[in-house]
Amino acid sequence: MKKLFYIGVIGLILFEIANVYFIMPMPGSQRLNSIDAAYFFHTWKWVFRGVFGILIALGAFAAFRGEKRSPYVAGLCLLAVAGVAYATNYEMAADTMFYQPSVLSLKNAVENKVDKERLVIGVEVNGQARAYPIQYIGYHHQVRDTLGGKPIIVTYCTVCRTGRVFEPIVNGQPETFRLVGMNHFNAMFEDKTTGSWWRQANGEAIVGKLKGQTLPELDITQISLEKWLTLHPNSLVMQPDTKFQEEYDSLSNYESGKRKGELTKRDSTSWKEKSWVVGVEVSSGVKAYDWNQLQKKRIINDMIGYLPVTVVLASDNKSFAALRRATPGQKLVIRNDSLYDEGGCVYTLLGKSHKPGIPDLVKVSAYQEYWHSWQTFHPDTKQYK
């Protein structure tokens, strides 16, 4: 019977470690194709805990009634189980490390207290615009809001450098999500209704009952707050929740690429795992543009498949956009953060025409990401060189 006690102890410790190992950034875990195993352990966790708990209970009397040292050894084993369970379920669990803001405070440009040099994820829905500083949403991972009459979740994964905004609508109904961990270094969210796990990089359910479904995605702009307010003067700006000031401060140098940690640092050379790229996705293909090259050129007129696309970087070295040109022959240049073509047409950084009667350029999906993230979730991507 004593053996049952120690089998239960060892089994429970190994299970609790495995239950967190596959869904958190631990050595080697994020390079494995282990999402199915992670979901299996998570789904059946109470069965595993129950079985190993029964074994411990069945053998406890014999374990504590053995030799002189036996009670002490058995007691230490139970303390070890309690310590591992606490560490893996509280200290190392994603939803106990990162919290949503207790109060979402939004201010207009006049009342705003956020430094205008900060990078934001800008969103516009039905004529309403809002800016969410990366320094804040990078900690929270998701922020729930309503914009232009639509519920939205503003998401960010610092390990991938991915910002995305989705409508939290599943099968026509509003859904609630919690941060559950990560897969291939990308944040995963679990829906409350079915317990399916959703990938932050593209809003796709990757395991669970809803596997294969995707959340509706909204267009975003990664841009300095100053330029966003210039283009959207009536925008509201997310303010810091003072409850999390220490966490915000820890990310103060994240957006500039000056962090030193392995997960969130920047490799300043090109096409390395932690190098920055701008990934562009259109109906005719997917392509990645090296951030260093974009900083040198400022503007790149290119073709992605059969579509003419221009990627442009503003003078602040932070704000960028990708636009679909009217024709392959149209060539754009940038001056004072405005775009000009040879025919005298003038556009804003986001493609809005300055001249009546001249149509706007179409803004297309573009994201600044780590190269490892973009190529992992866009394996068919091409590289602009």
Condensed to tens digits (0 to 9), the pLDDT of residues 70-111 reads 888 999 999 999 999 999 998 888 988 999 998 999 999 999
Which pLDDT does position 167 carry in this prediction? 98
Average confidence (pLDDT) over 177-199: 97
Closest CA to 144 of 124, 123, 168, 115: 168
Which pLDDT does position 96 carry in this prediction? 87
Which pLDDT does position 139 carry in this prediction? 97
Which pLDDT does position 249 carry in this prediction? 96
Hey, CA dihedral for 167, 169, 174, 180, is it positive or negative?
A: negative
User: How far is the C-alpha of 360 from the C-alpha of 69, rounded, in Å?
Assistant: 80
Tokens of 117: 């040099």
Tokens of 313: 């970087």
Tokens of 234: 């009536």
User: How far is the C-alpha of 65 from the C-alpha of 81, rounded, in Å?
Assistant: 20
**Beta strands at 128-133 and 186-191: parallel, antiparallel or unpaired:** unpaired
Closest CA to 177 of 221, 208, 134: 208
pLDDT band for position 368 (50/70/90)? very high
User: How far is the C-alpha of 284 from the C-alpha of 342, rounded, in Å?
Assistant: 26
> In Å, what is the CA distance from 181 to each residue of 39, 98, 194, 325?
11, 10, 17, 39
pLDDT of residue 204 exceeding 90, the answer is yes
Average confidence (pLDDT) over 313-328: 96
Asked whether the beta carbons of 165 and 220 are under 8 A apart, the reply is yes
The architecture CATH gives domain 276-384: 3-layer Sandwich (2.102)
pLDDT of residue 256 exceeding 90, the answer is yes
Q: Could you tell me what percent of the chain has a pLDDT over 70? A: 100
Name 158's Cβ contacts closer than 8 Å, sequence gap at least 6: 138, 251, 254, 263, 264
Beta bridge partners of 310: 301, 323
Which pLDDT does position 70 carry in this prediction? 83
Condensed to tens digits (0 to 9), the pLDDT of residues 329-365 reads 999 999 999 999 998 899 999 999 998 889 999 999 9
Domain ranges for the chain, please list them: 2-92, 106-250, 276-384
